[in-house]
Amino acid sequence: MEFKNFSLFINQTKVNRFADDLAGGKIMSTRCKKCGKQYYPPQADCPSCMGSDMEWKEIKTEGKLLTFTKIHVPPEHFAVRQPLMPFSSIQFEPCPIGILEVEKGLPVMGWIPKMDIKKIKVGMKMKASPFTLPDGKITIVLEPI
């Protein structure tokens, strides 16, 4: 699987393995073998010590929600289409998106597709999981646990 199949449309990267692992159900980080700093999203080089000797490490996917918002005009492949209204074009349902803090404070961003935004609370326990969209692209979703 190419990295372009991840939802961000990036096709030039030194961390191509990230999308392959997501497709396999794992959310991966990188860890600097020299200074021990861990990165998510994964980085090929360590901004802390400038080293490039990195190892891949699966992250723990449960954590607490740091923050969230809703996207009113999501990328089309994330959108839930609503019926057409008179005198308007296509309407989309606002989609919640949040940042989950997992092990060692790593921030994992993901869509929150199965919850009413009024029921989402900062600090709630959630789990991040890879999710394959109908068009084959892969993203990350957050669900309460």
Residues contacting residue 16 through CB under 8 Å, at least 6 positions apart = 2, 3
Cis peptide bond prior to 130, omega within 30° of 0: no
Backbone phi, psi, residue 51, to 5° = -80, 160
Binding window for Zn ion (CB under 5 A); candidates: 30-38, 65-73, 80-88, 112-120:
30-38
**Smallest distance, Å, CB 41 to Zn ion?**
16
Q: Which is nearer to Zn ion, 7 or 30 (CB)?
A: 30
Closest alpha carbon to 48 in 37, 59, 62, 64: 37
**Smallest distance, Å, CB 17 to Zn ion?**
19
Query: If binding is defined by CB under 5 A, does position 32 make contact with Zn ion?
Result: yes
Give contact residues for Zn ion (rule: CB under 5 A): 32, 34-35, 46, 48-49, 51
